[in-house]
Structure 1
Amino acid sequence: MTETSTGTITAAPTEGEIHYPISIDNCGKGYTFTEIPKRVVVMNGGSVAEVSSLVALGVSDRIVANAQSYGASDVPGRAVAIDALPTGGIIPNSAQDIPREAILAQRPDFVISDYTGGFSADEGYATRKELAAAGANTYVPRGYCGATGSVVGTPSIEDSYALLRDLGAIFDVQGRADKLIADSESKIAATAAKVAGRPKKNVLLVFAGMDMGAGPDLPLIGATGIWNKIISTAGAVNPFERADGTAFVAISSEQLAVTPVDALVIVNYRIPDIDSVAKRLLAKFPQWEATKTGNYAVLSDSIYLGPSNDLAVDKIARLVHPEQF
């Protein structure tokens, strides 16, 4: 029996051995897998962490319908691999996710949502109870167990590893999961060691193409959770860090103007010319050190929950402490 950060999984320690059934606790509920899932449906929820993890683990051939697509990746070839996955011919709802009838029609044996609200009847989705009755187990990453449409979770880098551990056990590829985690931990530790003791630089984390009330001329800024851990590990600090769980904040031009910004990290979501977006934002605040030096970097999926956080740590560290590399 092995212990994970999301619950207890009963499984053989060696990858590829017959070790079913296994039991896993997820968001306070118990689920039993009698075999490796064969018909996997991945819901959207605005994430690619789950489908990226399945691709990284080499089990994406089990997917019959995938709704997750970010359009870009910090891992070469990953965005193309995700876009090539089957969608099940599903017509998504207004939230670009899979409605109840469509998901049940896929006859899934395993359904993954990136937040608890993905199984909410009030939002038009099949519930975990309904899916269980139809023969499907369900899963939500632990950092989002309490999340609904209006309440977001605050995942950590460890939650990225927990996701890999759980999926590794469920699909009997524990060895692959352990290697991905060990490689990531080793790379992050090496990067952190290089920037240890260096002055902390202010990094502004901007999400391009996401308005959410910020307005057309103001950036939406990341403020909590995994982003701050990645930034701090890279030897920097988020000047707009929030401890109350607020994921995004809209900051006025006046406040941005008086905030020291040493480097800009802009997150790309289907922006054709993301470099122009970054340069226009820098030009609005010529007093920033980042503007004077042209110091910015573009990230996509590695800044979020998922299997590639080490890439974001490395890129930000090189941005703010290039002398260490």
Structure 2
Amino acid sequence: MTRSLFRLAMCGLLFSGSGLLGACGTATVGENDSAAPAAGYPVTVDNCGFQQTFQRPPQRVLILQGASVGEAETFVSLGLESAVAANTQFYGVSDIPGMADKVAALPKAGLTLNDAADVPAEQALALRPDLVVSTWSGGFDPKYGFASRDMLHQAGIRTLVNPVNCAYGKPRDITAAEERTYRDGSTESSLRFVELIGEVFGVRDRASALTDQLRGRIDAVRGKVEGKPPKRMLIAFPDMSVMNANGLPAVFSGNIYDSVVRAAGGEPSFPNGGWDLTGNLSAEQLAAAQVDVLVVGAYRPGEDLDAEAAKLFAAYPQWNASKNRTYVKVSDGIYLGPANADAIEKIARVAHPYAF
């Protein structure tokens, strides 16, 4: 895969993109369904300026790839696997024990991704889903060969974008609130998507129980590390070096990444770095960084993160983390999704061992 295509494929994971790509329309659908609404319905939601009414829980969901796994993990966490007709999200490793296998077990329906690394319009329509879910608005951009929200609406298919990413990939009519939500993405953004799916699928109590539990775990960590000197933390994914113009490990910073670090009692080595940092970080910048804790991430199964940490320590012996061999291994928990609490607990236990 070329670097440009890899960067496009990763866009759903990276909130701090250098540009806004994609398409998102405005329409109202579902009011004229002939069947009587199910109990607790109709449910109307305004999603990225696209108002839709659901007369019953969706039963054939297509989850677009978007270089994300958080949406698929949300469906699994809410026990909604049976509603998924096809899932194209995959990561292969998770900070939540057993989650990777559960995501891998979701049906794939034989779909193939196009050169832009997601489901082409003709396959999405042929699947005949009643709901299509994308991690970002760009997942509905026809210039990449994807079906637009308007096109799917005309076929009677509802659509949802993870609300934190409404502004990401939306070519027009971006509101100030959408820009602010995108810019301020955090662990709370992961929980808001859980609540949205709970509302649409009529499982609000289940969603509330899950968000209360996850938020409680994150708040418990914050309470334990409160008042302790924050540790400087660097999130690095060695196997994503293709994302960096200089061949260095991908270093993630900004939005949800900084939120995870701060919840674990840290401060990012490069606060609010965003896509420019990920793509253009130099060896000199990395050498000069203050790093007390290396947060080393797995992109795919089978990576030897102990060996990768050792390589970074050898390359940057001046880091405090290198001197003390202080590192923690994570995977999906630093991205948007229900695994944030698991990653935060892991990181905090290494950064502040005496607090636990």
Residues 4-153 of structure 1 correspond to what in structure 2 (within 5 A)? 18-148=39-169, 153=182
The amino acid of 1:24's aligned partner reads V
Residue equivalent to 1:295 = 326
Residue equivalent to 1:317 = 348
Residues 244-283 of structure 1 correspond to what in structure 2 (within 5 A)? 248-270=278-300, 272=302, 273-283=304-314
Residue equivalent to 1:160 = 190
Structure 1 residues 194 and 145: CA distance shift in structure 2, 3 A: same
Q: What CA deviation, in whole Å up to 9, does each residue of 1:189-211 have, x standing for no partner?
A: 11111111111111011123222
Kept in 1, the 8 Å contact 2:93–2:301? The answer is no
Kept in 1, the 8 Å contact 2:253–2:274? The answer is no
Residue equivalent to 1:11 = none
**Distance apart, 1:314 and its partner CA:** 1.2
Kept in 2, the 8 Å contact 1:222–1:249? The answer is no
Structure 1 residues 299 and 248: CA distance shift in structure 2, 3 A: same
Residue equivalent to 2:14 = none
Matches of 1:149 and 1:97, distance apart in 2: 17
Out of 316, 320, 329, which is 1:285 matched to?
A: 316
Kept in 2, the 8 Å contact 1:220–1:250? The answer is no
Matches of 1:172 and 1:95, distance apart in 2: 33
The amino acid of 1:298's aligned partner reads K
Out of 245, 254, 258, which is 1:228 matched to?
A: 258
Structure 1 residues 87 and 244: CA distance shift in structure 2, 3 A: closer
Kept in 1, the 8 Å contact 2:244–2:281? The answer is no
Q: What CA deviation, in whole Å up to 9, does each residue of 1:284-320 have, x standing for no partner?
A: 1112111122111111111111112111221111121
Q: What CA deviation, in whole Å up to 9, does each residue of 1:45-91 have, x standing for no partner?
A: 10011110000000011111110001111111111111111111112
Kept in 2, the 8 Å contact 1:23–1:32? The answer is yes
The amino acid of 1:48's aligned partner reads V
Aligned residues: 307
Matches of 1:140 and 1:268, distance apart in 2: 26
Matches of 2:138 and 2:268, distance apart in 1: 29
**Distance apart, 1:257 and its partner CA:** 1.9
Residue equivalent to 2:222 = 192
Q: Which moved more, 1:277-286 or 1:56-65?
A: 277-286
**Distance apart, 1:243 and its partner CA:** 6.6
Structure 1 residues 32 and 149: CA distance shift in structure 2, 3 A: closer
Kept in 2, the 8 Å contact 1:99–1:124? The answer is yes
Residue equivalent to 1:14 = none
Kept in 2, the 8 Å contact 1:214–1:220? The answer is no
Residue equivalent to 1:204 = 234
The amino acid of 1:198's aligned partner reads K
Matches of 2:272 and 2:101, distance apart in 1: 34
The amino acid of 2:99's aligned partner reads R
Out of 258, 263, 269, which is 1:239 matched to?
A: 269
- Look up the SS of the partner of 1:209 in the other structure: helix
Give 5+ residue unaligned stretches, structure 1.
1-16
Residue equivalent to 1:10 = none
Q: What CA deviation, in whole Å up to 9, does each residue of 1:203-246 have, x standing for no partner?
A: 01112322223433x22211210110111121110021127775
- Look up the SS of the partner of 1:248 in the other structure: helix
State percent identity of aligned pairs.
39
Q: Are 1:182 and 2:212 an aligned pair?
A: yes
Matches of 1:128 and 1:246, distance apart in 2: 29
Output the aligned Cα RMSD.
1.9
Matches of 1:57 and 1:172, distance apart in 2: 11
Q: What CA deviation, in whole Å up to 9, does each residue of 1:256-301 have, x standing for no partner?
A: 2222211100121115223222221121111211112211111111
Matches of 2:246 and 2:109, distance apart in 1: 36
Matches of 1:177 and 1:45, distance apart in 2: 23
The amino acid of 1:308's aligned partner reads A
Structure 1 residues 48 and 244: CA distance shift in structure 2, 3 A: closer
**Distance apart, 1:251 and its partner CA:** 2.4
Q: What CA deviation, in whole Å up to 9, does each residue of 1:117-174 have, x standing for no partner?
A: 1101111100101111111110011111111299x94422121111011100111111
